[in-house]
Structure 1
Amino acid sequence: MFDFGFSELIVIAVVMLIVVGPERLPKVARTAGHLLGRLQRYVTDVKSDIQREMQLEDLKKLQQQVEQQARELESSVRSQMNSVEADLGKTAAEVQSSVAIAANESSAAAPVAVEQATTVPLAPAGGASETAALPANPAPVDGASAEPSPQLELGLGPAPSPGQTAEKV
């Protein structure tokens, strides 16, 4: 802004020496130096305040953008979660209906299957083929619990003993 050369500064110093005088010139120069230092610090502080305000404004804009993106992400995750839950609900309903249909079909065929599964052919020593009916729920042996085996829970029928074979249903 101000362009002072060395020769111009010499002219200003000579004028100051003549106007102020040699006795008060050092005091005036020191006071002028202090005032210029304060002015420079004030200008630096104003610049840094303006820069801080600009950075604060930029940070607020960035924070708003991040919040908006977080809201968008949350809404997209929720919508996808809702669609997955709906698909899962449909699948669960289909599985339940197919299980209900299978249960109805198996309950209609269960008496025949139980009757066929409990009839086990025995091979007598003479070679004649005979069948013996086994009870549907045998009594526990030696204090064992009468809980159904996993095969019974799955509806696969009782497990054949090693010397016996069950007829296929």
Structure 2
Amino acid sequence: MFGIGGGELVFILFIVLMLFGSDKVPEIARTMGKAMAQLKNATNDIKSEIQKGAEANGLDTKSLTDITANINAQINDAKSNLLGDTTNLSSNLLGETATEIDQVKEDIESLSGPIKRQR
């Protein structure tokens, strides 16, 4: 529950008991329960209003699911196209860079060949 362990919950309850006293704790719990119930009811009302509005506009749950699936498919397709292009681009770039580095290394070796230090 919210990532709170048993010991932490007992500690929180102890602090609440110390702050408010044993007389107020049941009243606070009752008030919090009512608030949670009101929040749940408000959320359900909002969901039902959204669903009624969607049905009034000709959208049902199945068509919304289909639309969402199509959008997700298009997004995944675009991602794969973009990532595929960047993978080919990076491999080509790395290959060209490696050949350039090898060529420069050979040029430096040929220039510094007679001048190398003796250890």
Q: TM-score, normalised by structure 2?
A: 0.47
Structure number with greater CO (CA < 8 Å, separation at least 6) is 1
Largest Rg, 1 or 2: 1
Q: TM-score, normalised by structure 1?
A: 0.34
Q: If each structure's helix is expressed as a fraction of its own residues, which one has the higher value?
A: 2
